[in-house]
Amino acid sequence: MPDVPAPGPDFTGGADVLPTDPHLPVRVVVFGDVFDDIIVTPSAPIRSDTDTLASIERRPGGSAANTAAWLGSLGTQVDFVGRTNMADTVRHENALRNSGVTPHLLGESILPTGTIVVIVESAEHAGTTRTMLTERGANAFTSPTDVSDGLLRVATHLHFTGYTIFSGQPHADFTRLIDRAQQNGVTVSIDPASAGFIADHGAATFLETVHGADILFPNRDEAMALTGLTDNDEMVDALTEQFAVVALTLGRSGALVGAGTRSGAGRAVRSGASPEHPIRFAVDCVPVEPRDTTGAGDAFNAGFLAGLFEGTFAGGHALSGSTAELADRLHTAAVRGAATAAHAIENVGARPLGVVTHHHGVNVPHPAE
Ligand SMILES: Nc1ncnc2c1ncn2[C@@H]1O[C@H](COP(=O)(O)OP(=O)(O)OP(=O)(O)O)[C@@H](O)[C@H]1O
Ligand SMILES: [Mg+2]
């Protein structure tokens, strides 16, 4: 891996940046993958050594960028930090802006924009198969140091995924980023994103790297890889020993949310989410006709975070308060997560449809509050 992480964008200038006004709307920073998804649907079984007609579509994607786009479309103020080839920076900035995201993209001169070719084939008796061919491209250089202190000073929350953690940058930089967030009072959520990468690198390495993060969004495979367990309740119990909040997503079976430990032995969670009694509840999925499940998890994360911060100011703390308040807030978050995921899977593509023109303030409490 070439050692080139350029210094992060400078967000420190400008009177609007400092000091943080606790009455500003919540501001979420997402950093990580941004991709071009090339979706290939052959009109007939692919023939080698000759032509097969196909429909070929290019859509903006990338797990982290998709979460940012869903958050923006839900009205949350969101900044996205990532890297593309410089030839594609403006196109990706525009796509993010269309979803209501403020982009901070660094342009790479040599590496291409990350690209995934998704070949969608209808296999007889096997429904639809999706073959994914991935070139990480510029995403390989996305580094925790791309997230500047200036941006962390104005942020309320930071979200990133395991894809970025496992793309080759030093693990210690991620732990340092979580520390930097903590020093700025910024809460942190992580989607482990890949059970395969956890298996490759080891659960202990992942858990050590993300030490200090507040919220974990594993799916079932990732939770199994992280805990070595298979029972959903036991996995949530195990993970809440390290994370203040765990939202285990279970595909069509919805999600299981936990906060606080049953053992009482877990660390006093730094974010203040240490309810007197452990919180555990399940939410159902929203039943829809799935057309394209790509990005369901990314959309769930966005809906969850938008719901969690709904009605709070930047200066408030979404994970503090009484057990009942926290349980309420987490419930709103999980329901919003499931609704956003359902919206994503009943439409083709991993990002929200349409252009967001309204803006930010959805999270701001009602003046009467
Ligand atoms: N078929 C479905 N119908 C309705 N909702 C669904 C369906 N599949 C997933 N969801 C919703 O999406 C959420 C996330 O799905 P899942 O657990 O599959 O995440 P994931 O494996 O991380 O997905 P991804 O492949 O996008 O990373 C679920 O908690 C559920 O609310
Ligand atoms: Mg996922």
| Phi-psi category of residue 124: left, alpha or beta, with phi > 0 → left and psi -120 to 50 → alpha | beta
The single-letter DSSP state of residue 354 is S
Where is 227: in which H helix or E strand?
Answer: helix 220-227
User: How many CB atoms are located within 10 Å of the residue 116 CB?
Assistant: 20
| Residue-level pLDDT at 263 | 75
Is the pLDDT score of 297 beyond 60?
A: yes
pTM: 0.90
Q: Domain count of the chain?
A: 1
Atom from ligand 1 closest to the CA of residue 255: 29
CA 149 from chain centre, in angstroms, equals 20
In-domain check, residue 199: yes
| Residue-level pLDDT at 319 | 87
Q: Give residue 16 CA to ligand 1 midpoint distance, Å.
A: 38
More confident residue, 19 or 187: 187
Closest C-alpha to ligand 1, atom 22: 297
**Residue 4's pLDDT band (cuts 50, 70, 90):** very low
pLDDT tens for 140-192 read: 999 999 999 999 999 999 999 999 999 999 999 999 999 999 999 999 999 99
Max mean pLDDT among 1-5, 18-22, 58-62 falls in: 58-62
User: How many CB atoms are located within 10 Å of the residue 38 CB?
Assistant: 16
| Residue-level pLDDT at 266 | 47
More confident residue, 258 or 350: 258
- Nearest-ligand number for the alpha carbon of 293: 1
Q: Give residue 296 CA to ligand 1 midpoint distance, Å.
A: 5
Any idea which of 186-195, 319-328, 338-347 has the lowest mean pLDDT?
319-328
In-domain check, residue 78: yes
Q: Which domain range does residue 215 map to? A: 27-34+63-113+139-345
Q: Give residue 295 CA to ligand 1 midpoint distance, Å.
A: 8
Q: Which of 173, 196, 69, 56 is nearest to 119 (CA)?
A: 56
The domain that holds 313 is classified in CATH as 3.40.1190.20
Tokens of 368: 């009467």
Query: Which amino acid, residue 174?
Result: F
pLDDT tens for 31-86 read: 999 999 999 999 999 999 999 999 999 999 999 999 999 999 999 999 999 999 99
| Residue-level pLDDT at 322 | 87
| Residue-level pLDDT at 9 | 42
Instruction: Identify the bridge partners of residue 324 per DSSP, sorted by sequence position.
Output: none
| Residue-level pLDDT at 2 | 40
pLDDT tens for 88-144 read: 999 999 999 999 999 999 999 999 999 999 998 887 666 778 888 999 999 999 999
User: How many CA atoms does the CB half-sphere of 257 hold within 13 Å?
Assistant: 25
**Residue 223's pLDDT band (cuts 50, 70, 90):** very high
In-domain check, residue 101: yes
In-domain check, residue 172: yes
